Amino acid sequence: MKIAFFDAKDYDITSFTRCGEEGIRFKFYETKLDEDTVGLAKGFDGVCVFVNDRVNAAVVDRLYEYGVRIVALRCAGYNNVDLERCFGKIHVVHVPAYSPYAVAEHTMALLLTSVRRIHKAYNRTKDFNFSLNGLTGFDLHGKTVGVVGTGKIGRVFIDICRGFGMRVVAYDKYPSGEGNIEYVPLDALLRESDVISLHCPLTEETHHLIGREAFTKMKKGAILLNTSRGALIDAEALLDAIKQRIVGAACLDVYEEESDIFFRDFSGHIVEDDVLARLISMPNVIVTSHQAFLTEEALANIAETTVHNLTAFRDGDLPENELCYRCGKIEDCKKSRRQRCF
Ligand code: NAI
C-alpha cells in the first residue's frame, strides 16, 4: 500500500518510521495537500493528511480520479475534509484520541503562563532584570472556569481545573452525563466565568461561536483559552474585545487563518495577517502555533492508530475509526450495523 504523506514534519517522519509496518510505504511530502499539490497523490492508494491540508470537493474529485481510496487524517478534527463529497468514493479515517492529556495540559500551561506572567518573567530574568513590577497575577483557586465542550479533552481539563480548586461550569450541546459536571446554558457560562476554555469541534454551528455578541455577555477581564479550532472565535471581534478591555487575556493555540502561517518559520519575514500581528503584539495575548498535541506520547499514538487504520482498510477489516457525513446522524447507518460507511 502506497501512501502520500502531506505536510510532513521531522517529528512525523520519526514517529511514522519508528512504527513502520512492512506493507505500507509512505512518501513524505513537506507541502500541504490542496488543489495545487493534489497531483503529487497520483499513483498512490491513499493520502495521509493533517489539520491544515485542504481536502475540499475539488481535491476529493482529483484524488478519486487518481485511484486514491482512503484519506487517513492523523488528527481528531476533520473540518478540513469534505466528508459529503468523499461519501461513496473515498473512505476517511481519523485518530479520534491520541492524548487528551497533551491538549488539556497545554491549555493549563497557557492559562498559568498568562495569569502568572511567566512569559514576561522569563524574558526579564534572561536579561538579568529581577524587577517584579507589572507581574502581579491572581489565584486560580476559587475562580470559575467555563468549559465549552465536555468530550475527551474538555473532561481532562475539567479534572485539572478541579485540582486547582476552581469551580467548573460547562456547556455542551450533547452532554454525556459523565463526570458530575454542572451544565449551564452558553449565555450563563459567558456571564459567570472568569476563565473560558473551548473544547468543542469546529462545525457550521460552532463557527464564530465566540463572536461580537458573545463578547458583550462576558465578564469584564475574562480570560479566553482556545486550543480547539481557530474559527470558533471571530478573531477581529476578539481584537476589539481586548482593546475594549472586555477580554483580560487570550491564550490561543489555534487561529482562524492559521493554515498558511502556523508550522512555518516566518522570522525575518513580514507577516501579512494584520489581525494576527496585532493580537501577537498585545501584552495579554499568548499564541502557540497549534502545538497542544505535541508530546512524545501523542505522536506515538497518532502513528500507531493511523497505521492500524490503513492496515485495517487494506485487509478489508472494519475500520472502526471511519468517518462519514452521516455517522451518528441517520438512524439506520451502515456503520451501526458493523459494516463500512459505504
Ligand atoms: P470530543 O469529540 O471527545 O468532544 C467534543 C465535545 O464537543 C463533545 O462532548 C460534543 O458533544 C461537544 N460539542 C459538539 N458540538 C457542540 C456545540 N455546538 N456546542 C458545544 N459543544 C459541542 O473531542 P475532543 O477529543 O475532546 O477534542 C475537542 C477538539 O479539540 C477537537 O474537535 C479538535 O478541534 C481540538 N483538538 C486540538 C488539538 C490541538 O493540538 N490544539 C489536538 C486535538 C484536538
User: Is 229 one of the catalytic residues?
Assistant: yes
Indicate which atom in ligand 1 lies nearest the CA of residue 97. Answer: 25
Question: pLDDT value at position 130?
Answer: 98
Q: In terms of residue numbers, what domain contains 60?
A: 2-98+296-337
How far is the C-alpha of 290 from the C-alpha of 68, rounded, in Å?
28
Residues 244, 105 within the same domain: yes
What is the atom index within ligand 1 of the atom nearest the CA of 171? 20
Beta bridge partners of 26: 3
253 with 300, same domain: the answer is no
How far away, in angstroms, is 228 Cα from ligand 1 center?
7
Q: How far is the CA of 150 from the centre of ligand 1 (A)?
A: 8
CA distances from 245 to 148, 220, 275, 285 (A): 22, 7, 17, 12
| 75, 191: one domain | no
- Both 6 and 39 in one domain: the answer is yes
Q: How do strand 322-323 and strand 91-93 relate by DSSP bridges? A: antiparallel
How much is the pLDDT for 18?
87
Centre of ligand 1 from the C-alpha of residue 270, in Å: 33
Q: Determine the residue of 110, 150, 153, 256 to mutate for testing ligand 1's pocket, defined as the one with the most ligand atoms within 8 A of the Cβ atom.
A: 153
Which of 268, 287, 306 corresponds to the end of one domain? Answer: 287
Q: Is the domain of 46 the same as that of 112?
A: no
Specify the pLDDT at position 338.
Answer: 66
Q: For residue 256, is it within any domain?
A: yes
Residue of 172, 190, 258, 305 best suited for mutating to test ligand 1, as the one with most atoms within 8 Å of CB: 172
Q: Are residues 44 and 112 in the same domain?
A: no
Domain identity same for 153 and 226: yes
pLDDT of residue 320: 86
Q: Both 138 and 254 in a single domain?
A: yes
CATH number, domain containing residue 7: 3.40.50.720
Given 74, 85, 94, 290, the catalytic residue: 290
Tens-place pLDDT, residues 197-239: 999 999 999 999 999 999 999 999 999 999 999 999 999 999 9
**Paired residues of 323 in beta bridges:** 92
User: Which residues in the chain land under pLDDT 70?
Assistant: 338
What is the count of structural domains for the chain? Answer: 2
**pLDDT for position 311:** 94
Does residue 79 fall inside a structural domain?
Answer: yes
Which atom of ligand 1 is nearest the CA belonging to 291?
40
Q: What residues line ligand 1, using a CB cutoff of 6 Å? A: 76-77, 97, 100, 103, 148-154, 171-174, 199-202, 205-206, 227-229, 253-254, 290, 292-293
- How many whole angstroms from 104 Cα to the centroid of ligand 1? 11
Alpha carbon separation from 159 to 60, 104, 168, 293 (Å, rounded): 40, 9, 9, 18
Q: Are residues 207 and 117 in the same domain?
A: yes
209 phi and psi angles, rounded to 5 deg = -55, -40
At 318 the pLDDT is 72
The CA–CA distances, whole Å, from 29 to 68, 76, 184, 324 equal 16, 21, 45, 26
Spot the catalytic one: 229, 256, 308, 322. Answer: 229
Q: How far is the CA of 76 from the centre of ligand 1 (A)?
A: 9
Same-domain check for residues 247 and 121: yes
Does one domain contain both 116 and 56? Answer: no
Amino acid identity of 158? I
Is-catalytic flag, 258? yes
What is the best residue among 158, 178, 200 to mutate for testing ligand 1's pocket, by most ligand atoms within 8 Å of CB? 200
What integer pLDDT is reported at residue 328 of this predicted model?
A: 72
Catalytic-residue membership of 296: no
Q: Are residues 115 and 90 in the same domain?
A: no
Q: How far apart are CA 322 and CA 340, in angstroms?
A: 8
Of 252, 267, 287, at which residue does a domain stop?
Answer: 287
Tell me, in angstroms, the distance from the centre of ligand 1 to residue 151's CA. Answer: 6
Q: Is residue 18 part of a domain?
A: yes
In-domain check, residue 217: yes
Q: Is residue 229 part of a domain?
A: yes
